[in-house]
Structure formats: C-alpha cells, structure tokens
C-alpha cells in the first residue's frame, strides 16, 4: 500500500478504489490473486474503481464501466479521533448471483456514522472470469473459485491494513446478502478463511444452491466450446487469449426456479472442500457468532423478473410442471400444499410462497439450528409489507411485500427506489443499531428496542426477530408460518 487521498466529511471518511490484489489480467487470468504492488505517488481514492466484468445488457455504454482490472475495495470509516480505541470492522460482500454487482452501490455512511464501525465493501471476479472451472485451467481439481479466492485476499488485506483507517483487525465480521451471503457460508467452512474474521452476517442466502466440482467442470467445458475454444489440447491458451468482453456472459451452474440461475463457487476443491450445508450439519463450521435471516416474501422478486421477461405471470396450468422441474418427485406434493386458490387464485403468488419457504426460509432455519450447536446464532425476518422497491417490482401485477434484497435499503443508501418514510426510517435506525452492535460485540442490541435472544437459548422455543415498521418483536412461530414441518417431511429434503 502507499499514500492515498480520500474524502472527509463531518461524520465519516471514505476511501475508494483501493487495490487489494494485482490486476488478474494476462497470465494472471484464472489464477489465484497475487498481492497488489505499492503504487507510486498518491492514489486518488475519491472515486470507486470499475466494476468487474459482467453482462451489462444490450447497451454496454450505459451505466458504470467494467474492467478485468477490478480487484479494489472501499473503506467507510467514522471520523478519526485521537487517542480512541480502534473500531470494529464489517467486510461487505455484494450479491448478484456471482454474475453481477459491485462494491460501490453500498453507500455505507449510516453504518459508519451512526453505528461507529468501519465498513469495507469489496469487488471480486464474477461470472466466467471468477468461477469458470474448466479442467485445463489448473491442477486436477484445483480450478474455479477465483472470485472466492479474491474475497480471501481482501480479508487478508483488511487484516494487514485496516488499522491505518482506524479499524481493529482483531474485530472483523464478514457479511453479505444473497450471493454475498452464500460466500459468507463458504468462508465459514473454507480452510483458507480460518482466522480472518470473528463473526458473520448472512442475509437472504440460499447456501444450499452450490454446484460440485463435476457439475462446474461439465458446464465449463460446454462454455469453452461456446466461446470458440474447442480443441482440448489448447483450451487454456485459447481462453486466456480471448478479450475480456468475450467472457462477460457467465457459465450457469445452479438453477433456482425457471427465472434465476447462479454461477459461483464449486465444492470439492482445495479452496472449498465441502459444501456448507453438510459441513454445518456435521459441526465443521467456524465457531463464531452468526446473525442470519431472510425476508418474508423473498421469491416475489424472481416472479416479477419472470413477468418482466415474458410479459405475463405464471399460468395455473403450468404451475405443477414448474414445481416438478424445481423439486423433482416432490413437486406434486408442493403443488398440493401451495394451491393457487390459497393465494387468491394467483399462481405467481403461490409459486413465490413455495419457493420463499422451500429455498430460503426453511433452509435458513435448518442452517441456523446447525450453527447454533457451536456458537450463538441470532435469526431475523425482515417483514416490512410495503418497503421502497425499484420500478420493476412496483410494476408487478401482484403485491411483492418484503421481497429479496429490499432490506438493504435499511442498512445502506441504495438508489433506484423511493425514500424511506418516517416509520421505515425508524426501522432503519433500529437495524443499523442491531447490526453495528453485533459487529462490535458479537450480539445484536438496540437501545430501547426488544432484546434479541439467541437461537437455542431456550430449548423449547425457536426465536426470530421480526423486523417491522412500527415495532419489531420476537416471534416463535416462524417455522409454522413458513411450513417448515412440511418441507422437512419431503423425501428430497430428508
């Protein structure tokens, strides 16, 4: 690292676009990240670096620039005060299905200024450049997961340098939402992540939706052929010779429903030997405090995306087939348990409820039970029925409720949606207090707000914090409300 010039305001400091690893270009494409070189002179840290390569849609000139040279991070810190103790640190891993997103959209002023913590937001390689698992790219089995290795490199940078920004390298919490939360699940079991954090936050993460090495390699071989690298003897050289723009389309490894797919880490590799679900169940996760939760209506976002793509919702006649495509032999039981008639005759809402419960809510509940055997776990459900939402969700022909990702606007200033109203602003302050207190002390607390018991603190109860405007409260009926006994009874889930 070297000298840098950032931004200083009355209640926070911000340094952006800081390189934490060498540019992964040329011979370093599809290699583990290397340390960043010390830059000459003074780095201009007043603006973010480019986002990592990703599909920007039909017009790549609209929006933020993308680059293969993207391994940078941003540091949000409280005002510097002489003689004070170092601040606890939250390292935020962005979501986006491992195929899009960037660090700079998470405006962290509220957490730094009100929560008095240091927030580090990171970029990491995405899509093909981050997770292609072609067998020609490395030693047998040691392919893929380059984006996950980037995240580890960022955590090592935090360990080595965050004290220069007023952060305490011994009080680091890793946190993320969606694919970022899935990444946190992986770091809880990845050998190379051990010792780099002392607590974890997992938001809306289907941590079970990860491919194994064989699946990743199979799809990666097909991907290489699709971009013109057909000769097995020269595939690696061919792939590395392609322009980065030819690799902005990702390989797909896992499908959730018919409207959402993921790239991402593969298990059974030296970097990630085990999948998190099995490792959690067998007690092989890092024994650190965990705050984890879901949104009440996670899957309405994906139903809305489907509507936006096809111009219509799910038809009742196709509903059973869609569930069979997703849940296999359990599909008929799911269709019977979630009939459209129970949701006003709207198959899109029935579909959303089934996948919210089966993919997100009950999986998170099961993972929380496993993790709570080794360390305190605090679970939440974000349940604002009318949160600010982007235009796509506002135009959906059904109520989206507390859909996937909408809780982020209560922790970060995120664009593309109406502002919070006064009641939501109060909920935001409460959540910032809970989150920052967890980062600082390993337990979520908020002055004047309900106490938040840990999972398993009473063997006879299942505690969840219901986060709602007008009054959050501890609930004990989460499993029943989301039909978790039904999901536990299915043959494919037993």
Q: Which region among 135-144, 179-188, 284-293 has the lowest average model confidence (pLDDT)? A: 135-144
Give the residue carrying structure tokens 């799911």: 334
Angle formed at CA 399 by CA 396 and CA 405, multiple of 5 degrees? 80
For residue 259, pLDDT beyond 70: no
Whether 34 is in a domain gets the answer yes
Q: Whole-angstrom Cα distance, residue 440 to residue 318?
A: 49
The pTM (predicted TM-score) of the whole model is 0.96
Number of domains comprising the chain? 2
Q: Is residue 150 part of a domain?
A: yes
458 occurs within a structural domain: no
Are 266 and 301 in the same domain?
Answer: no
Whether residue 232 is found in the same domain as residue 328 = no
Domain holding 338, by residue range, is 297-427+467-494
Residue appearing with tokens 């962290």: 108
Asked if the structure places residue 347 within a domain, the reply is yes
Higher pLDDT, 61 or 419: 419
Residues 6+ apart with CB under 8 A from 460: none
Q: Give the model confidence (pLDDT) of 326-364 as tens digits.
A: 898 999 999 999 999 999 999 999 999 999 999 999 999
Measured CA to CA, the distance from residue 72 to residue 245 in angstroms comes to: 20
Task: Specify whether 267 is located in the same domain as 344.
Answer: no
Is there a catalytic annotation at residue 361?
Answer: no
pLDDT at 169: 98
Considering the domain architecture, whether residues 305 and 164 belong to the same structural domain is answered as: no
pLDDT mean over 147-158? 98
Q: Same domain, yes or no, for 24 and 170?
A: yes
- Whether the CB-CB separation of 166 and 77 falls below 8 Å is answered with yes
Q: Which residues of 27-58 are buried (b: 16+ CB within 10 A; e: fewer)?
A: ebbbebbeebeeeeeebebeebbbbbbbebee
- Which residue is listed with tokens 């005060």? 81
Sign of the dihedral defined by the CA atoms of residues 305, 204, 359, 399, in that order = negative
Of the residues 87, 94, 134, 404, only one is catalytic, namely: 404
Task: Give the pLDDT score at 61.
Answer: 46
Q: Is residue 354 part of a domain?
A: yes
Strands (E), 365-463: 377-382
pLDDT at 494: 42
Q: Report the percentage of the chain scoring pLDDT > 90.
A: 84
The reported pLDDT for the residue numbered 274 is 94
Q: Are residues 275 and 310 in the same domain?
A: no
Query: Is position 170 annotated as part of the catalytic site?
Result: no
Residues 231 and 310 in one domain: no
Nearest to 468 by CA among 292, 352, 296: 296
Share of the chain above pLDDT 70, in %: 96
Q: Is residue 435 part of a domain?
A: no
Residue that finishes a domain, picked among 267, 288, 309: 288
Q: What is the mean pLDDT of the chain?
A: 93
Catalytic member of 108, 178, 361, 428: 178
492 within some domain: yes
Place of tokens 């002055």: 447
Looking at the fold, whether 121 and 249 belong to one and the same domain comes out as yes
Mean pLDDT of 192-213: 97
Query: Are both 282 and 309 inside the same structural domain?
Result: no
Q: Which of 177, 298, 381, 479 is catalytic?
A: 298
Does 314 lie in the same domain as 273? no
Of 268, 288, 308, the residue that ends a domain is 288
User: Per the domain annotation, does 255 fall within a domain?
Assistant: yes
Q: Are residues 239 and 302 in the same domain?
A: no
Helix, strand and coil percent figures for the chain, each rounded to 5: 40, 15, 45
Q: What is the pLDDT of residue 83?
A: 67
Quick one: tokens of 18? 């800081």
Same domain, 158 and 279: yes
**Domain with 28 in it: what CATH number?**
3.40.50.1820
- Does residue 405 have a pLDDT over 50? yes
Residues 6+ apart with CB under 8 A from 110: 411, 412, 413, 428, 432
Token digits of residue 240: 């590395």
What DSSP character marks residue 157? H
Yes or no: say if 381 and 481 are a contact pair by the CB < 8 Å rule: no
Decide which of 224, 258, 288 is a domain's last residue: 288
245 is catalytic: no
């Amino acid at each position: 690292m070297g000298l840098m010039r950032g931004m200083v305001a009355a209640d926070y400091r911000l340094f952006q676009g800081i390189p934490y690893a060498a540019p992964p270009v040329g011979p370093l494409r599809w290699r583990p990240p290397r340390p960043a070189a010390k830059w000459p002179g003074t780095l201009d840290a007043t603006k973010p670096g480019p986002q990592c390569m990703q599909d920007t849609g039909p017009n790549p000139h609209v929006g933020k620039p993308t680059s293969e040279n993207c391994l940078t991070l941003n540091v949000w810190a409280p005002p510097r005060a002489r003689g004070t103790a170092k601040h606890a640190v939250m390292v935020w891993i962005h979501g986006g299905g491992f195929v899009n997103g960037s660090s700079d959209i998470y405006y962290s002023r509220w957490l730094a200024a009100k929560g008095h913590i240091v927030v580090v937001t990171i970029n990491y390689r995405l899509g093909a450049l981050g997770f292609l698992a072609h067998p020609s790219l490395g030693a047998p089995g040691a392919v893929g997961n380059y984006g996950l290795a980037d995240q580890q490199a960022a955590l090592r940078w935090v360990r080595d340098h965050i004290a220069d920004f007023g952060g305490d390298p011994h009080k680091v919490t890793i946190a993320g939402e969606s694919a970022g939360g899935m990444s946190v699940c992986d770091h809880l079991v990845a050998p190379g992540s051990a010792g780099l954090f002392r607590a974890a936050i997992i938001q809306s993460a289907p941590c079970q939706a990860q491919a194994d090495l064989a699946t990743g390699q199979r799809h990666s071989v097909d991907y290489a052929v699709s971009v013109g690298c057909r000769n097995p003897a020269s595939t690696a050289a061919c792939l590395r010779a392609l322009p980065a723009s030819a690799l902005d389309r990702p390989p797909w490894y896992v499908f959730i429903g018919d409207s959402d797919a993921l790239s991402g880490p593969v298990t059974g590799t030296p970097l990630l030997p085990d999948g998190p679900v099995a490792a959690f169940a067998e007690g092989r996760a890092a024994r650190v405090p965990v705050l984890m939760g879901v949104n009440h209506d996670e899957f309405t976002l994906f139903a809305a995306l489907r509507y936006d793509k096809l111009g219509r919702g799910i038809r009742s006649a196709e509903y059973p087939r869609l569930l069979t495509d997703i849940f296999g032999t359990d599909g008929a039981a799911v269709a019977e348990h979630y009939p459209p008639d129970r949701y006003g005759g709207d198959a899109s809402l029935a579909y959303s409820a089934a996948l919210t419960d089966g993919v997100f809510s009950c999986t998170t509940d099961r993972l929380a039970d496993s993790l709570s055997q080794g360390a305190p776990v605090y679970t939440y459900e974000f349940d604002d029925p009318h949160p600010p939402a982007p235009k796509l969700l506002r135009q959906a022909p059904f109520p989206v409720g507390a859909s996937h990702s909408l809780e982020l606007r209560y922790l970060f200033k995120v664009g593309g949606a109406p502002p919070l109203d006064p009641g939501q602003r109060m909920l935001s302050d409460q959540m910032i207090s809970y989150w920052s207190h967890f980062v600082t002390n390993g337990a979520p607390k908020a002055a004047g707000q309900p106490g938040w018991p840990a999972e398993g603190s009473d063997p006879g109860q299942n505690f969840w914090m219901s986060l709602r405007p007008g009054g959050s409260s501890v609930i004990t009926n989460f499993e029943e409300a989301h039909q978790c006994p039904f999901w536990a009874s299915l043959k494919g889930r037993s």
